[in-house]
Amino acid sequence: MELENEGKSLHTKVKEEILRLIKEKKFKPNTLLPTEAEFCKKFGVSRTTIRTALQQLSMEGYIYREQGRGTFVSDSKVKQTLSMTEVKFSEQLMSQGKKPLIKVLSLQVVPADEFQADQFQLKEGDPINKLERIRYADEEPLQYEIAYLPWYKTPGLNKEECQKSLYQLLEAQFGLKIKKTVEQLELFLADDEIADKLSIPVNTPCFSMESYAYLEDETPIEYSKAVFRGDRANFVIERNY
Identify whether residues 142 and 227 lie together within a single domain.
Answer: yes
CB neighbour list of residue 90: distance below 8 Å, 6 or more residues apart: 100, 102, 164, 165
Number of domains in the chain: 2
Residue 96 pLDDT > 60: yes
What pLDDT score does 7 carry? 53
Distance between CA 221 and CA 154 in Å, rounded? Answer: 9
What pLDDT score does 82 carry? 59
Identify whether residues 83 and 181 lie together within a single domain.
Answer: yes
Residue 86 pLDDT > 70: no
- Over residues 36-46, mean pLDDT: 92
CATH number at residue 65: 1.10.10.10
Identify whether residues 84 and 67 lie together within a single domain.
Answer: no
Residue 3 in domain: no
Of 4-8, 12-16, 122-126, 232-236, highest mean pLDDT: 122-126
In sequence order, the β-bridge partners of residue 197 are none
Q: Against a cut of 0.75, is the pTM above it?
A: no
Distance between CA 6 and CA 47 in Å, rounded? Answer: 21
Residue 192 pLDDT > 70: yes
Identify whether residues 85 and 30 lie together within a single domain.
Answer: no
> 103 φ, ψ to 5°?
-110, 130
Confidence bin at 130 (pLDDT 50/70/90) = very high
* Domain housing 108: 78-236
- Over residues 48-73, mean pLDDT: 88
Identify whether residues 106 and 66 lie together within a single domain.
Answer: no
Residue 87 pLDDT > 60: no
DSSP state of 124: T
Residue 63 pLDDT > 90: no
Residue 32 in domain: yes
Identify whether residues 198 and 86 lie together within a single domain.
Answer: yes
Q: Are 204 and 190 in contact (CB under 8 A)?
A: yes
Residue 241 pLDDT > 80: no
Distance between CA 237 and CA 24 in Å, rounded? Answer: 21
Distance between CA 208 and CA 185 in Å, rounded? Answer: 6
Q: What is the pLDDT of residues 137-170, one digit of tens each?
A: 888 999 999 999 999 999 999 999 999 989 999 9
